Structure 1
């Protein structure tokens, strides 16, 4: 019995490209303008900015926490704000 392809069909001839190869070759052309590649990234500058943003966030969070605790004390919940402090 003759060998068959994956789907039980007749084998493709050797000079005929496979379906997967034909699909890759027939990929649609991109629509719209072709954009230039993005500029190279300076990761040192990127990391410095990231560290600065994280430090700013930590500082802001600490300031907001202190402001919240002060507001709780002003609102009359004095017992809560003095508990655990020496």
Structure 2
């Protein structure tokens, strides 16, 4: 499964989006646009990403820009995998 597809799946599951994440494109806004994505949900998404991709995300690696759009989140994951 591609990074983007797995990130969509994680967002859908953690945020309870009922399949809406499947239509997310790179420019789809996340933080501030999805009411489901509050501070607690961000932690849940990050934990699920860490678990699925088997890496650790440091507190200093994440800022508001990470969750600005679906594309910025997917790129963050791709960068961590390198």
Q: Name the TM tier (shorter chain).
A: under 0.3
More relative contact order in 1 or in 2 (CA 8 Å, sep 6+)? 2
> Rg: which structure is higher?
1
TM-score (norm 2): 0.21
Larger helix fraction of residues: 2
